[in-house]
Chains A and B, each alone.
Chain A
Amino acid sequence: SQQGEEDPQALSIQEGENATMNCSYKTSINNLQWYRQNSGRGLVHLILIRSNEREKHSGRLRVTLDTSKKSSSLLITASRAADTASYFCATDAHGDYKLSFGAGTTVTVRA
């Protein structure tokens, strides 16, 4: 079964708005990662947050991690049309690089 579950399944926003998506997982983790997948392409790594971290930033991305609630959020600020993609969270539970992915959130940014 999938370790992570993203919410919402789909999100449609206007260019310039912020997009927030959440990921919940079931077991304790070593780290949590977010990936982006453009249509018909492979996944691209966005950001990794370790279990002892609470927040991380990378450009327009902000990731939070709440291990007590077993959840993470990804915020994309000032969205652009190029941000249209599916976003996946992936958890590494045992530090063995075996990632468990959720089903993803599909984000559509309207011009």
Chain B
Amino acid sequence: DTAVSQTPKYLVTQMGNDKSIKCEQNLGHDTMYWYKQDSKKFLKIMFSYNNKELIINETVPNRFSPKSPDKAHLNLHINSLELGDSAVYFCASSPTGTDEQFFGPGTRLTVL
């Protein structure tokens, strides 16, 4: 009965590869987010979708592309991975019109 789930939990890959992280929420929320947390624990928003529509797109390299097939899913695809992409990526969701966000457990991405 996990509210916000992410797969995989750990991802180790070589520079230059393309990888995807999947996120699903079963809370019925309309809005979903992707955050990046660096090694110093700074958490920065990357993208936000509301009912499958992109509403927040921070200054993120074009190599990052979110995709929302339906409002319960928000996947993150990363092309041509770089060393600096190593971080923990968190998915979150919230009901429209409220501010509290519910976070997934995170995906630790390590680029070698």
Q: Does B99 contact A (CB under 8 A)?
A: yes
Not counting A41-B105, A42-B103, A98-B45, a sample of 16 additional A-B residue pairs whose C-beta atoms are within 8 angstroms of each other reads A2-B42, A30-B99, A33-B100, A35-B103, A37-B41, A41-B106, A42-B4, A42-B90, A42-B104, A43-B101, A45-B100, A48-B99, A48-B100, A97-B99, A98-B56, A104-B41
| CA of A45 to CA of B90, assembled, Å | 14
Residues B99 and A42 in contact, CB atoms below 8 Å apart:
no
- Chain A residues with CB under 8 Å of chain B are 2, 30-31, 33, 35, 37, 40-45, 48, 86, 88, 92, 96-101, 103-104
The count of chain B contact residues (Cβ–Cβ below 8 Å) is 22
Closest to A30 in B: B99
| CA of A48 to CA of B45, assembled, Å | 18
Closest 7 CB pairs of A and B: A42-B103, A101-B43, A43-B103, A45-B100, A42-B105, A104-B41, A42-B104
Closest to B104 in A: A42
Instruction: Please classify the interface of chain B as helix (H, G, I), strand (E, B), loop, or mixed, using the class held by over half of its residues.
Output: strand
